[in-house]
Structure 1
């Protein structure tokens, strides 16, 4: 089946969150959340080094909207249920529909850390991947020094599968870094 023909929900809810794909018009609110969280994001997220202006960010969101519709990348925004408060982002990335397999990425707005929102989102997105999209494998990858990200993976039930030593260079320092791979597979 062609990826664009696959049925993928555009939004779903967990206990406290509305999780949905990006829509035209979301650029400004996403940019604001990222700017408020830059000190934490820059250390781990290469995309947080150079933040475009509002127009540029809106263009990115619209491209991600098209990617969602085409099933190339499923960026998801995390909203507190019943509000217009964006608390972070996540999604299913590096999609291989032949398997099918996905990689979950995530970030949280600084003001909302420590409340379990990201773990809740990851559990919900994992359920979507396996139960709705038929995933055979879902991975979470993070820098070995990113203890908070690794803790989210563990709390969401992902066992550590591998450590890729000297796998990449850090986007700010250029130092060699290790990558942790957490993975769940279908039975």
Structure 2
């Protein structure tokens, strides 16, 4: 039988050339709120949490939920920082996972002030390596609205296969139905 995921040793920090991906830790609410509020125009179409200005308190609450969920292995979100300066860039992680397969779905958002520098692709590449090499993943998914060009670009740069486009399968940030692209990589 499978080891209880709570007993798995999962790194609390993953490093790439430019980035540090860190387990959520209390105290970052203000930095997260600033990043979301600076990025509302880009995030609003796709992210329910970015429909209007947020507060440090609201972000701190969600951060602490992510911190607890990480310890319980219910979801594994990481905060993305520039290694050189510790500037907060956004979040990436496995918001949905199934330890029985095991399979992991990657979710991410980036502070739009730092867009188009390849940061999210680099972060996702690092996380995918962790999924296959450390967590024994059989499958990693990226799911996004078909109109979310930036998110699709990440999946395509990382050589994910577009398996399906599911009609009216998810919602836009405002709750209206969206077609969902399902990208995946699997173990050979």
Q: Which TM-score applies when normalising by structure 2?
A: 0.94
Residue aligning to 2:112 = 110
Q: Which TM-score applies when normalising by structure 1?
A: 0.94
Rounded to whole Å, the distance in 2 between the matches of 1:172 and 1:6 is: 37
Change (3 A) 1:135 1:51: farther
1:28-177 matched pairs, under 5 angstroms: 28-50=30-52, 52-172=54-174, 174=176, 176-177=177-178
Rounded to whole Å, the distance in 2 between the matches of 1:26 and 1:123 is: 24
Query: Bigger shift: 42-51 or 29-38?
Result: 42-51
Rounded to whole Å, the distance in 2 between the matches of 1:101 and 1:61 is: 23
Secondary structure of the structure 2 residue equivalent to 1:76: strand
Rounded to whole Å, the distance in 1 between the matches of 2:175 and 2:93 is: 27
Structure 2 segments unaligned to the other structure (5+ residues): none
Q: What's the CA shift string for 1:52-81, capped at 9, x where partnerless?
A: 432222121111101011111111111001
Rounded to whole Å, the distance in 2 between the matches of 1:57 and 1:13 is: 24
Secondary structure of the structure 2 residue equivalent to 1:166: strand
Shift of 1:84: 2.1
Q: Which runs of 4+ in 1 moved over 6 A?
A: none
Secondary structure of the structure 1 residue equivalent to 2:20: strand
Change (3 A) 1:171 1:12: closer
**Count of paired positions:** 186
Q: CA RMSD in A?
A: 1.3
Secondary structure of the structure 2 residue equivalent to 1:124: helix
Change (3 A) 1:80 1:64: same
